[in-house]
Amino acid sequence: MHGMHRASAMTEGWAYLAGLAVLLSLAHAAQSYEIKAVTKPVIMSESPYWDDKTNTVIFVDVIGKLVLRYDPSHPDDLKNISFSGQSGRVTPAVPVRGSSEILVGVGRTVHIVDVDWGAPGQAPVIRTVRAMQEVETHLPGNRFNDGKADCRGRLWIGTMDDSQTSRRRRRSVNKGELFRFDLQHNSAQARDMNLDAMPIVKDGLQIPNGMAWTADDKVYYLADSATKAIYRFDFNVDTGVVSNKTTAFSFVDNKVPGAPDGMTLDVEGNLWIACVHGGRVIRVDPRTGKLLQTILMNVTNPSAAEWGGPNRDVLYVTSARYKMDARQLEREPDAGSLFAITGLGTRGLAERPYDVVAFNASGSSRASSISCWTHWGLVMLMILNAIPPKSSSSR
């Protein structure tokens, strides 16, 4: 009996050690990711977009009024185009499918910018810049914030109060809106085409920020930095309308420092959220409201997250150094840089580019179910590409 007890004890001991080894292995795996600053700092990097056709990251410097492009295969060749001559902050930047054009938000106006980024070592050249659509002319203190395109290629951008005084800030409750931009044309001439801004969510938003759609395009998530919450909406892909707003995750209830900024979804349906003023990126299951993982950054203000790389397994994170003093910058020399996080054990969903959608002359298809790769979408794309470039600059 004594021998049996001894054998049993040894078995239990080995089982305990084996279990401990598994736990240690899992803990090591959870911490096996690597965080690396891959660009020099700018003032406020934001709105990253992985461009599949060039294998580069397009992002903006909101305050510096730049659209930048980072090429992982030429990491020292960080390119940028400047909008210093324009009034208003610059965000977001969303490439147009099958084109060298980018939709760029400046202040409250969407611009179509045709840019030749050039070969490595060459300076980019802006061919044309065209202001397309301004919103909220009655709210001069507002500006665009984050934005993305949905699966039909429609552009979505939130607006926020960017007034400088605290007095205006106290009056800015629910001044944010969420807009959807479709392309309409009222003439046979492609030059007469314009964007049609549709207010999608007009009430209950303060600082609409990061957004994402589920893989089945049935759910839309939107962050509000002021309320520190991630909202869930039902999404009708045909009409481009959202409904049934609920709270998917609360920073306050989960005691997460900072506020939600830009975010992205992985293939498992989890959100990866940059926590501005919180110094971290978190992984959240929005279906259960559970916090799954915290990645501590060496900067206070991570601002957005985007999956990239050929396998969509690199998490690119932008950051900001805006209004940081010399002492803070000494502690955080990489603040404002673009970061690459590898080894996370998952990968992301591809973000969508803006697509060219043809609307009829009456404009009655504003809430259209037309897919961007219908016959008319292809025809309009061919017309756009046939227009000879003009020599102009954003400066």
Residues recognised as catalytic: 261
Question: Which token pair is 72?
Answer: 């992982």
Mark 194-220 as b/e (b = at least 16 C-beta within 10 Å). ebbbbebbeeebbbbbbbbbbeeeebb
Looking at residue 293, its amino acid is: Q
Select from 44, 74, 48 the least CA-distant residue to 59: 48
Residues listed for the chain = 395
The answer to whether the beta carbons of residues 343 and 33 sit under 8 Å apart is yes
CA angle (381 as vertex; 376, 383 as ends), nearest 5? 95
Indicate the annotated binding residues for a divalent metal cation: 46, 209, 261
Residue with tokens 């030429």: 74
Which residues does 144 contact at the CB level (< 8 Å), separation at least 6? 89, 91, 92, 105, 106, 107, 108, 110, 157, 158, 159
Question: Smallest Cα–Cα separation from 216: which of 237, 245, 198, 231?
Answer: 237
Nearest-CA neighbor of 228 among 268, 171, 273? Answer: 273
The closest alpha carbon to 358, from 115, 224, 182, belongs to 182
Give the whole-angstrom CA distance, residue 12 versus residue 6.
10
CB count, 10 Å around CB of 322?
Answer: 15
Q: Residue positions in the annotated binding site?
A: 46, 143, 145, 209, 261
What DSSP string describes 324-393?
--HHHHHH-TTTT--EEEE--S--BPPPBPB------TT-TTTT----TTSHHHHHHHHHHHHSPPP---
DSSP 266: B
Binding-site members for substrate are: 143, 145
- With contact defined as beta carbons under 8 Å apart, do 106 and 90 qualify? yes
* Selection from 150, 164, 131 nearest residue 63 by Cα: 164
CA distance 17 to 12: 9
